[in-house]
Structure 1
Amino acid sequence: MTAEQTGLRIQQALDALAGSGVEQAGEQLARELMEFYGQGLAKLVPALPPPALERMLDDPAVAGLLLLHDLHPEDLPARIDRALAGLPERVEVVGFDPATGTLRLRRTATGCGCSEQEAAAVLSCHAPEVTAVELERALQLLQIGTRPQPAAEAR
């Protein structure tokens, strides 16, 4: 289960409590559990050897949990690169607009590839700052000109 799915389930549970007078108690319980888990993770993360932490950052659930507690050691560009490395097609970052949360990507290879939805799903746990993905195909230029002459004719 991803961090996003867990968050939705928690929100549904809190919504079910709405209006019954126990909504505040449910929200307080969620805050207390978050603080408790965050304190534990804050002690675990620095104790991990760097190669072990590096491997764990590839797991979307771990990445989402560390982001949730502001413990992820990588900056946004590194997290985006890590997420994109898991896509079936190579893409490059064209730009990111923090005001809109839009990440623009360009395909670097031709053929069947990922969709904007697939890219957004991969990015959701690693880079929740990205709220929209625009995917463009790289232009391939057709060169029209004279054909090079064979070596025998070029003399």
Structure 2
Amino acid sequence: MSAEQAGRRVEEVLDRLAAAGDRAAAEAAEELVRSLMDFYGSGLARIVRLLSASGGRGPGGDPLAALLGDELVASLLVLHDLHPEDRDARIARALDGIPEHALEVAGFDEASGTLELRTTAADSGCGCAAGAGSARQAAEDALACFAPEVRAVDIRTAPAGPPLLQIGKGPKSAPTAAKTR
């Protein structure tokens, strides 16, 4: 479908909604079209700005490198199944964008869309749920743009080192029987 055909189609649908007499539905549809136009316009503007700033080349001379690292552009590419990286590469890119949390992928359940991440005890702060909560939120925010197929994040805290050895008194000795001569 050409841009002209798409524009005509949008106008036809908006006209049909207006003719149906439901003013609220027609206004909502026009607002939806404006929002989508703003979203795509922002994405296109970002693409032009990124390509202009990098002279059309990203790191290593790759023209896509600057685009793939941008959240807005990446989300548009993923939305239309145009992103050249596979899911695992996009997840790694998202996690690389949050260096304040040392997160690594432990697994992904495709059926539920749950990404299991592992973090060190040192990264989780005090070892309580609060540290994991901020890491989870940061991961969810980053993954929303780069890997929307991740619907949930589960963070496990890996031990920072060997477990502590508890040292205490040994068991009480049993009384010894008196020796007989």
TM-score tier (shorter): 0.5 to 0.7
The question of 1:121 aligning with 2:132 is answered no
- Out of 51, 61, 64, the residue aligned to residue 62 of structure 2 is 51
TM-score normalized by the length of structure 1: 0.60
Matched, 1:103 2:103: no
After superposition, residues 5-154 of structure 1 pair within 5 angstroms as 19-20=22-23, 21-22=25-26, 26=30, 51-87=62-98, 88-108=100-120, 110-111=122-123, 112=125, 114-139=134-159, 140-142=161-163, 144=165
Say which SS state the counterpart of residue 141 (structure 1) adopts. Answer: coil
- Do the aligned partners of residues 25 and 80 (structure 1) sit closer, same or farther apart at CA in structure 2, a change above 3 Å counting? same
Q: Shift of the alpha carbon at 1:51?
A: 2.0
Cα distance in 1 for partners of 2:163, 2:121 equals 16
The RMSD of aligned alpha carbons is: 3.4
Distance 1:23 1:82, change over 3 A: same
Instruction: Label 1:91 to 1:25 Cα distance change in 2 as closer, same or farther (>3 A).
Output: closer
* 8 Å CA contact retained: 2:140, 2:153: yes
User: What amino acid sits opposite 2:122 in the alignment?
Assistant: T
Structure-1 separation of matches of 2:120 and 2:163: 16
Higher relative contact order (CA 8 A, sep 6+): 1
Task: Answer yes or no: is the 8 Å Cα contact 2:101–2:135 preserved in 1.
Answer: no
What TM-score, normalized to structure 2? 0.53
How many residues were matched structurally?
A: 118
Q: Secondary structure at the match of 1:124?
A: helix
Once the two structures are TM-superposed, the CA of residue 65 in structure 1 deviates from its matched residue by 1.1
* Cα offset, 1:121, TM superposition: 0.5
Partner of 1:3 in structure 2?
Answer: none
**Greater shift after overlay, 71-80 or 105-114?**
105-114
Greater Cα radius of gyration, structure 1 or 2: 2
Question: Gaps (5+ residues) in structure 2?
Answer: 1-17, 48-55, 126-130, 166-181
Provide structure 1 residue ranges, at least 5 long, that are not aligned to the other structure. Answer: 1-16, 42-47, 145-155
Q: Distance in 1 between matches of 2:120 and 2:71?
A: 24
Question: Displacement of 1:130 after TM fit?
Answer: 0.6
